[in-house]
Structure 1
Amino acid sequence: MVQEITEVTVRDVRFPTSLEQHGSDAMHTDPDYSVAYVVIHTDTGEKGFGLTFTVGRGTEIVVCAVQALSTLVVGKSLQEIVGDFRGFYRLLTSDGQMRWIGPEKGVIQLATAAILNAVWDLWARTEGKPLWKLLVDMDPEQMVSCIDFRYISDALTEQEALDILVKGREGKAEREAQMLQDGYPAYTTSCAWIGFSDQQLTQLCSEALSSGWSRFKVKVGANLEDDRRRCALVRKMIGPDNTLMMDANQRWDVGEAVRWVSSLAEFKPLWIEEPTSPDDVLGHAAISKALAPLGIGVATGEQCHNRVMFKQFLQASALQFVQIDSCRVGSVNENLAVMLMAHKFQVPVCPHAGGVGLCELVQHLILFDYICVSTDLNNRMCEYVDHLHEHFTCPVVIHNAHYLPPKAPGYSCEMLEASVQKYQFPDGEVWRKIQAEEQEST
């Protein structure tokens, strides 16, 4: 049955996480975790749900971008889109006028991701499969046809991508069974936000250890002495055999990053994440080279705009861990390209997650990556942050510090309508109450 898209709606949904410093880091000190929440409506009544993640102010700009791009979507059928997904992707990213305010980066790409996430959700629902299963079952030829190789063919050709996927068929059934039984390894960022007190950090680390967590990430970059104290505290609690990572969220210049991380090397971090500007490929390369003798890798990617930047990071040996994001680049299509390039360059993919809905979405991508592309779990793990999952109809399931594969059809993007209405900005109940309290205090 042909499903024609009749309408694309988008809402600004924000959660006041800044009130308790959840999500705080050296660069983003007061985030209100938010989404531009998209629903694709069809003439059959079937809907596709998608989102892109933001941290409060500016979400309204992404909403406007979604509305502008939606004119390219309404009137098309799902079958028309997926029959030439590469062409549709390029249509969204190559509009002759809107491309000027991108191209394929920033607000426009966030909006593109939200729309395409909804398209993938609609496709998976139509097929009656969770998205990861839709991807795993897809023929390599069809998978490759979803990817736009423009600008990256010097690093990964269409034939090379096809060869990787064909080779990935070997042992695929066994890896899928393994994931269904054990799940995909995760690490936690929930214990050590930069705004948390030492007491909070200690309590949360203790609780995580008792729940089976063995991989922990600490936010750093605001004050070196604070970082040394907090990292020492975490390392002492988790012991020498568990894994510690650090995340500076773009705080430093290149030389400063090398000096700062070198002074934290005694705490044996596996990686330093986003040590400098997320656009500085050569800066990351210099930091990677300087920290290599200390056994510390560099991770980045959550704010990497597109596949072209990932290509350059990989070509320049500027990172040792690729961090894809479900909403920063152009949805599943572009993340497929990044995962395949990472495999060619033999760099493990360890996605960014957390936020609102990022864990729900990225679980599908990591399952596909392991089952069909990487076929290896060495040095691979996915971020997990334990909040806001209760606002989704099919929240992520974590067991023994592993992501368990979702079973419901779709991309796990659908939010509870009651939550959307309650937290919609600025007129939802929660925000009306906050505004009233602010007016009273003044």
Structure 2
Amino acid sequence: MSKIKITGLTVSDVRFPTSQEHHGSDAMHTDPDYSAAYVVLETDAALKGYGLTFTVGRGTEIVVCAVEALSGLVIGKTLEEIVNDFRGFYRILTSDGQMRWIGPEKGVIHLATAAVLNAVWDLWARAEGKPLWKLLVDMDPDLLIKCIDFRYISDALTEREALDILMKAREGKQQREEQMLKDGYPAYTTSCAWLGYSDQQLTQLCSTALAEGWTRFKVKVGADLEDDIRRCRLIRQMIGPDKTLMIDANQRWDVSEAVAWVTKLAEFRPLWIEEPTSPDDILGHATISKALAPLDIGVATGEQCHNRVMFKQFLQASALQFVQIDSCRVGSVNENLAILLMACKFNVPVCPHAGGVGLCELVQHLILFDYISVSGSLQNRMCEYVDHLHEHFRSPTVIRQACYIPPKDPGFSCEMLEESVQKYQFPNGEVWKTTLLQKGQ
């Protein structure tokens, strides 16, 4: 690898006014504007690295400030010195003696860390001329292990155990890669049943999805029980008894309320209830999991789980039956590698959170790697898909027959079109100037 030096970092506040049509609406986030703190790494070569972290509107400017605060730890480094000691570089970003006080490894500072590291991984994959999933799949297991910070999780997963998992998964690896290239990775859709959608809109979107071959559907719940019963009944009647239904409360309930509410929705046979309570309440999730087990309803969570340590405890406490990694909530690929390997050791399926803006583009790489090089299983596994905003990316997600088709372009698939960045930049982009003017702001 040539000594590509990072010479600059720019970060933009890019927001899309999705709240106008209730896209992304749920019981806790009623008016999200899908947004991103969008990072571009400049180098002394022809290559650039692109990364982002996902937000839902207000507050993106705070993440931008955090990225700028981290930029001095990245600028001046060569790609070679970063990837030759990626664990050490990860710790430099997450363990700065002063900035870690406003984390550590959680919240805004960790979202910013994810944006920066996503851009570094994108740069590395581009330098190697490979899509990120292929970079990971082809990587020597010893090198891959050295990208992971095992501090705080070695009581649940040692380096030796992680290496053993990767070595064991070598059997059949080539066949699984060929299978993915041919058929893709199974997906489920959340696009049909946002909480703000009318029954007519839900029906229309569900009919279209069925015609396109979708067999797995997620419904947002949690605001009103009778409304949930009606909407779940409507979608279950539409998709029939054999297709898969999931429900998602987005942290709306107390523990006992979650058990009671979901019990009343059990007749619709959901595979899981997602984020039934506070994303930080590990023991609460364990209580809910135990209570719902006789109903054959699992608990899924992770999209707002701060770091690998919390995932460790969720797994140790048997508090979740489906692990939902997010490509921007934790510390980028580095930390997600740790989570994927822990999930494999604890034999819990990974079903990533996606949607948002850019999340589908990013997380597809991680779940492809998980299947090909870690778990080797598709049992009870699928990746979320939301059909919004892909047109703003240079290498948009490709879905065929309700499956993610592996990306072929080098990088992490999160480079946005420059015209989209300019048009939707907040608050001075063309779209927001017009929108804010209309609101009299």
When normalised by structure 1's length, the TM-score is: 0.99
* Amino acid in structure 2 at the alignment position of 1:204: L
Note the C-alpha offset of 1:305: 0.1
- Residues 139-198 of structure 1: per-residue CA shift (max 9 Å, x gap): 110010000000000000000000000011101000000000000000000000000000
Distance 1:7 1:34 in 2: 23
SS in 2 for 1:363: helix
Note the C-alpha offset of 1:44: 1.1
Is the counterpart of residue 28 in structure 1 residue 29 in structure 2? yes
Note the C-alpha offset of 1:435: 1.2
Note the C-alpha offset of 1:332: 0.2
Distance 1:6 1:27 in 2: 40
* Amino acid in structure 2 at the alignment position of 1:249: N
SS in 2 for 1:30: coil
Q: Report sequence identity in percent.
A: 80
- Residues 86-141 of structure 1: per-residue CA shift (max 9 Å, x gap): 00000000000000000000000000000000000000000000000000000110
Is the counterpart of residue 250 in structure 1 residue 241 in structure 2? no
- Residues 347-388 of structure 1: per-residue CA shift (max 9 Å, x gap): 000000000000000010010000000000000000000010
SS in 2 for 1:218: strand
Distance 2:154 2:178 in 1: 33
Is the counterpart of residue 174 in structure 1 residue 175 in structure 2? yes
SS in 2 for 1:41: strand
- Residues 39-87 of structure 1: per-residue CA shift (max 9 Å, x gap): 0011113100000000000000000000000110011000000000000
Partner of 1:404 in structure 2?
405
The count of residues paired between Structure 1 and Structure 2 equals 440
* Amino acid in structure 1 at the alignment position of 2:316: Q
Note the C-alpha offset of 1:436: 1.4
Partner of 1:232 in structure 2?
233
Is the counterpart of residue 213 in structure 1 residue 210 in structure 2? no
* Amino acid in structure 2 at the alignment position of 1:97: Q
Partner of 1:56 in structure 2?
57
Residue correspondence of structure 1 range 138-149 to structure 2 within 5 A: 138-149=139-150
Distance 2:160 2:414 in 1: 32
SS in 1 for 2:439: helix
SS in 1 for 2:136: helix
* Amino acid in structure 1 at the alignment position of 2:227: D
Distance 2:423 2:76 in 1: 31
Distance 1:286 1:436 in 2: 49
Distance 2:216 2:47 in 1: 40
* Amino acid in structure 1 at the alignment position of 2:18: T
Partner of 1:86 in structure 2?
87
Residue correspondence of structure 1 range 92-241 to structure 2 within 5 A: 92-241=93-242
Distance 1:425 1:295 in 2: 45
Partner of 2:419 in structure 1?
418
Partner of 2:263 in structure 1?
262
Distance 1:423 1:91 in 2: 32
Unaligned runs of 5+ in 1: none
Distance 1:111 1:398 in 2: 29
Flag as ranges the 4+ runs of structure 1 deviating above 2 A.
none
SS in 2 for 1:11: strand
- Residues 221-279 of structure 1: per-residue CA shift (max 9 Å, x gap): 00000000000000000000000000000000000000000000000000000000000
SS in 1 for 2:38: strand
Distance 1:314 1:111 in 2: 26
Partner of 2:280 in structure 1?
279
Distance 1:388 1:426 in 2: 19
Distance 2:368 2:103 in 1: 30
Distance 1:438 1:156 in 2: 52
SS in 1 for 2:347: coil
- Residues 286-314 of structure 1: per-residue CA shift (max 9 Å, x gap): 00000000000000000000000000000
Q: CA RMSD in A?
A: 0.5
SS in 2 for 1:187: strand
Unaligned runs of 5+ in 2: none
When normalised by structure 2's length, the TM-score is: 0.99
Note the C-alpha offset of 1:437: 1.0
* Amino acid in structure 2 at the alignment position of 1:178: Q
Distance 1:2 1:266 in 2: 60
Is the counterpart of residue 364 in structure 1 residue 390 in structure 2? no
Partner of 1:374 in structure 2?
375
Partner of 2:354 in structure 1?
353
Distance 2:45 2:54 in 1: 28
* Amino acid in structure 2 at the alignment position of 1:110: L
SS in 1 for 2:213: coil
SS in 1 for 2:72: helix
